[in-house]
Each structure stands twice: as structure tokens, then as C-alpha cells.
Amino acid sequence: MNAPFNPATSSLAPSDAEIIEQLKQQLAVTSARLQLSELRVHLLEEKLRLQRIAKYGPGSEKLTSLQLELLEFEPGVSNLEVAAEGERDALPTTPDQKKRKRHPGRQTLPSDLPRVERVIACTSEQCICGGCGQATTLIGYEESEQLDVEPAKYFVLVTKREKRACKRCEERGVMAAPLPPRIIEKSLVGDQVIVDAIISKYSNHCPLYRQSAILLRDAGINISRATIDGWVMRVGDLLTPLVAVMRNQLLEGTYIQADETPVDVLTRDGRSRNHPGYLWQYGTPGGATIFEFRMGRGREGPMRFLHNFEGILQTDAYAAYDRVGGPRMVHAACWAHSRRRFVEATKLNPQDVVSARIVAQMAKLFAIDAQAREENMDHAARHVLRTERAPLLLAELKAQIEAAGRTALPSSPLGKASAYTLRLWDKLTRFLNYPELELSNNLAENSMRPVALGRRNWTHIGHEKAGPRIAAILSIVETCRRLKIPVRDYLADILPGLANLSIQKLPELAPAAWAASSL
């Protein structure tokens, strides 16, 4: 008779060594899963921090993760508050960690502002000497300056034109003095009110419905938002031919920086969602800036604008700028975009020594141009300085980036930054051959910031047909800002009578020509 089966004595039972090996394998699998989970958490934290940085703007790059988390629970926080928070130390825990900034001292008021003197006389007691009782003598004044302002004052301008007639020749009728040209003929408001509406919206980012409320509150006159919008559209129509002349002048030059930004467009098809439109910006450092409105972000936009351009085009790595322009056009890239990717890697991982070393090497490259600006070098002198110092820096930088690309994971921030930079290396180093080429496209990005700030207030463009008119206004406003021209004075001078001006006269009214003639 067979004995009963006993697992403990059966040859099929696993040995202690096998059990230990199985436990080791299970432990290894558990450890791998734990590491994978930690990696996923780390990646999600990186993505969350990048989203918060993008949400709160450049000032948030100086904030710690804890500060960003606190701001996340403050729905009313503004960019200025974020920037102010970024100037603080990163949440010091002890008094020794607090750093004191040196006070810059009392600010000097601009010398070009008009001075209005107010003389304060001494009291009657001060006019008599307390010792001898004789009258004191005025020996001078103790001066101090403060910035002051006169609030906007609305008034009704009454225009009275002379009427003349000959009593002997009654058949010749009555003659009246001619009216000066106006921006909008027979309008209820004067030119300065219309110009103020343009400045308030596109320089001060005050939406039209708020301007309507201000007019009702301060002047007691009810002018609807639709009426003010009609003024804006009329000014856009008047400026469109002038901006076309500026565009031709820009394309005749040798250097253009380009960028684009989205802006919502209100649709009229009954859908609640707006259509994504785009403002494309083309400009040259120290010169004109042209905005072009398009309903899409495709290549047809820059192809149409730059189809005959034969100079240097500097952009980011957006593919729509590839294969545009004339056959001799040179396409250059932006070092700031490359540097920003490595900076993001250091922000997400402060222990990333490789990214920090690459950022420091790029800083040496930017320091060359900073020295040229401090010493007021022209393009030729800056080119000599670049030729002496940049090639060795670039060789070391490329070696560092290539080494980082070989060791970093392709999907990591460092791996992506390395691949991005090496892919654009030829375009990034073209400044060695073109003296006028800047290292970065930052000036174009800075021109987009007023648009980004403005659309937070006026939210969208009211109609597709309004887009080109708004682009024309933005072109003038930004060009005046770049050239340091008072845009209010400029618009008040050129807009009246612009509709009746010959097209041959328009180049004389471009902001640069106007500024030169006003000297």
C-alpha cells in the first residue's frame, strides 16, 4: 500500500535556496516598480512646476515650489505681485539667511518734464528778526521736487468760424473760414478724445466698455462701447496704408526678427467658443515693427509676408518659418530660446550640474554683447570683439552639450535641450558671420508682451475683419515705443487729414521720418 503524499518530504517541494531566490526576485520587481513610481511622480512635479511658471510669468522663475504652491491658492494674484514675490529671498528660515538690499537712493525726476514753480513765502514772524526786530532779507530758496499730475479735464470745445460777405456783391454769397481737418468729420468728440481711446486700449490696456464707463462717470456723457469701437476701427482704416508703406521699408532692409502670438477672435456662427487667431510680428532692432493678423498659424502667413525678402530672418525653432523668403535669405536662430531650455532643466533639478555648467558657459557668450553695449560699440567693433572671444567659447559649449546629449535620457529636460541646441547649431552660430545679427530674438518677444497683457483685459478681437485694423494700430504703437516717440503726440499730428493725403506723402509720416522732421 502506497504511503500518503507529504509535501514537506516530497522531492517537488522547493528548497530554502529557491524560496530565497523567489523572494529576491519579488523584491527586485517591487523595487523597480517603486523606482518607476518615484520617477513618474518626479516627472509630474516637473510638469506642474513648468505649468505654474508659465501661468504666473517670468517673475515666477525666481520662486520656490512652495511659493508657487501658495500663489496657486490665490486666484486674484497679479503678475506684479509675482514679480515682487520673486525679488524676495526664497522663504528664509533664520534671520541670518535674510539679505538686505542696498537702497538705490532718491530717484531723480526726468529733466524733460515741464517744471511748474510754487513759491512758499515765509510767515510774518519769520520776516522779522527775533533778535533786533528789523526786517529779514530774502537770500534765496530751498528747492525740492515732486512728481505731480493734473487730472483729465473734459470740456466742450466751441468752434466759431468767421463768416464774411461783400455788401456790394451780394450775388457772391457768404464765405466761412475753413474747418481744420479732423480724424472723424462731424463727430461728436474731438481728435484728442479719439486718440485717448486708442492710447487707453492699446498702450494702457483699458477695454472699451471700461472707457465708456469712465466717460459717463467723469464727463457725464453716455457714449456706448460700440461708438468708441467705431472710432478705433476708423483709426485702423486710416493707419493701414501708412503701415503698408512701413512694411515695404522693412522688407527693403537686411534684418528682420519675427514672432507670433495667439489672440481669440469672436465668431458669429452661434458657437460659444472663439476662433484662435494669430498676430504675427516682424521688426528690426531699433526700427519699425509690423503686426500682421492671420486666422491661422500656418506657413502661408510668413511665406506671404517674406516672399521676396533677401536678408537675415531671426526666429525661434517654429517650423512655419522654414523655407520662406527669397532664395538668398539667411535664417538665424535665437540663443535665448536655447538657454531657456537648459535653465528649465536647472530649475526642475537644482542638482543638475551639467545643465548649470552649460548655462554658465552661455552666460559668457551673452557677456560679450553686454560688454559691447556698455562700451557703446557699433556693429563693426562688436564683430571684432565677437571674433576674438566667441569661437573658443562656442567650441567648449558644443563639446559640453554633445557630452550631455550622450548621457542624458532623450525625454529628460537636459536631453531635449541638448537635442534642440545641436539641431539648430548652424543657425545659432551665424552671428559670427553677420555683424548686425543679435544673439537672441528677445526684442521680438518683448514686443509681444503688451499684446499678451492687453488681451487679458479686452479678451478677444470682435470680428475677423477687425484683425487687420487692430494690427495696424499695434504696429504704430509698438514702433513708437521702440523709437521712443510719444505716441499720443504722433497720432494727434498725423491722423487729422490722413484720409485725404496722397500716398506719395505717406513715407514722410512714418514714425522714424516724423521723429526726424520734428527735431
pLDDT of 320 above 50: yes
- Same domain for 243 and 323, yes or no, is yes
Could you tell me which residue, 187 or 99, shows the higher pLDDT?
A: 187
- Which residues, listed in sequence order, are joined to residue 105 by a DSSP beta bridge? none
- Same domain for 288 and 273, yes or no, is yes
CB atoms within 10 A of CB 175: 12
Specify the number of domains making up the chain: 2
Grid coordinates standing for 519? 527735431
Angstrom CA distances, 357 to 165, 320, 395, 401, stand at 86, 32, 14, 10
Predicted local distance difference test score (pLDDT) of residue 80: 55
471 within 8 A of 265, measured Cβ to Cβ: no
What's the gap between Cα 297 and its chain centre?
Answer: 19
Report the alpha-carbon distance of residue 35 to residue 17 in Å, rounded.
27
CB atoms within 10 A of CB 298: 11
Residue 502, in any domain of the structure: yes
Residue 15, in any domain of the structure: no
- Same domain for 339 and 476, yes or no, is no
User: 102-111, 312-321, 322-331: lowest mean pLDDT where?
Assistant: 102-111
Could you tell me which residue, 274 or 198, shows the higher pLDDT?
A: 198
Grid coordinates standing for 277? 487667431
pLDDT of 72 above 60: no
365 within 8 A of 388, measured Cβ to Cβ: no
Could you tell me which residue, 399 or 31, shows the higher pLDDT?
A: 399
- Same domain for 272 and 417, yes or no, is no
Cell 476662433 maps to which residue?
Answer: 275
pLDDT of 270 above 80: no
Report the alpha-carbon distance of residue 365 to residue 396 in Å, rounded.
11
pLDDT of 174 above 50: yes
Residue 489, in any domain of the structure: yes
CB atoms within 10 A of CB 120: 7
CB atoms within 10 A of CB 314: 28
Q: What is the DSSP letter of 135?
A: B
Q: What is the dihedral of CA 50, 52, 54, 60, to 10 degrees?
A: -100
Q: What is the DSSP letter of 286?
A: T
Q: What is the DSSP string of 354-399?
A: HHHHHHHHHHHHHHHHHHHHHTT--HHHHHHHHHHHHHHHHHHHHH
- Same domain for 303 and 247, yes or no, is yes
pLDDT digits (tens, 9 = 90+) for 201-230: 999 999 999 999 999 998 899 999 999 999
Report the alpha-carbon distance of residue 438 to residue 379 in Å, rounded.
10
417 within 8 A of 355, measured Cβ to Cβ: yes
- Name, in order, each residue with C-beta under 8 angstroms of 116's C-beta and a sequence gap of 6 or more: 148
- Same domain for 363 and 512, yes or no, is no
- Same domain for 405 and 384, yes or no, is yes
DSSP H helices in 298-352? 300-305, 335-348
Residue 45, in any domain of the structure: no
pLDDT-based confidence at residue 8 (cuts at 50, 70, 90): very low
Burial annotation 332-344 (CB, 10 A radius, 16+ → b, else e): bbbbbbbbbbbbb
Residue 461: phi and psi, rounded to 5, are -90, 135
Residue 198, in any domain of the structure: no
Predicted local distance difference test score (pLDDT) of residue 93: 44
Report the alpha-carbon distance of residue 139 to residue 245 in Å, rounded.
60
Which one, of 324, 337, 312, 202, lies nearest residue 257 by Cα?
Answer: 312
Domain enclosing residue 256, as ranges: 228-332+442-518
- Which residues, listed in sequence order, are joined to residue 332 by a DSSP beta bridge? 314
Cell 517650423 maps to which residue?
Answer: 319
Last residue of one domain, picked from the residues 385, 403, 432: 432
Report the alpha-carbon distance of residue 334 to residue 429 in Å, rounded.
10
Last residue of one domain, picked from the residues 432, 452, 487: 432
pLDDT digits (tens, 9 = 90+) for 241-255: 999 999 999 999 999
| Of the ranges 56-70, 104-118, 127-141, 474-488, the best mean pLDDT one | 474-488
- Same domain for 328 and 339, yes or no, is no
Q: Which helix (H) or strand (E) holds 244?
A: helix 225-251
What's the gap between Cα 135 and its chain centre?
Answer: 62
- Same domain for 310 and 352, yes or no, is no
Which one, of 447, 439, 465, lies nearest residue 261 by Cα?
Answer: 447
Last residue of one domain, picked from the residues 363, 398, 432: 432
- Same domain for 346 and 428, yes or no, is yes
313 within 8 A of 329, measured Cβ to Cβ: yes
Grid coordinates standing for 439? 544673439
Q: Which helix (H) or strand (E) holds 112?
A: none
Residue 294, in any domain of the structure: yes
Considering only CA atoms, give the Rg of the chain. 33
Q: Burial level of 100, CB count in 10 A (0-12/13-18/19+)?
A: exposed
What's the gap between Cα 365 and its chain centre?
Answer: 23
Report the alpha-carbon distance of residue 275 to residue 266 in Å, rounded.
6
- Same domain for 251 and 302, yes or no, is yes
Residue 357, in any domain of the structure: yes
- Name, in order, each residue with C-beta under 8 angstroms of 28's C-beta and a sequence gap of 6 or more: none
Predicted local distance difference test score (pLDDT) of residue 104: 64
Residue 63, in any domain of the structure: no
Cell 481711446 maps to which residue?
Answer: 197
pLDDT of 338 above 60: yes
Q: What is the DSSP letter of 287?
A: S
- Same domain for 282 and 346, yes or no, is no
Amino acid at 358: I
Residue 128 DSSP SS3: strand
pLDDT digits (tens, 9 = 90+) for 369-381: 999 999 999 999 9
Grid coordinates standing for 307? 516672399
pLDDT digits (tens, 9 = 90+) for 96-149: 544 565 666 667 888 888 899 999 999 999 999 988 889 999 999 999 888 888
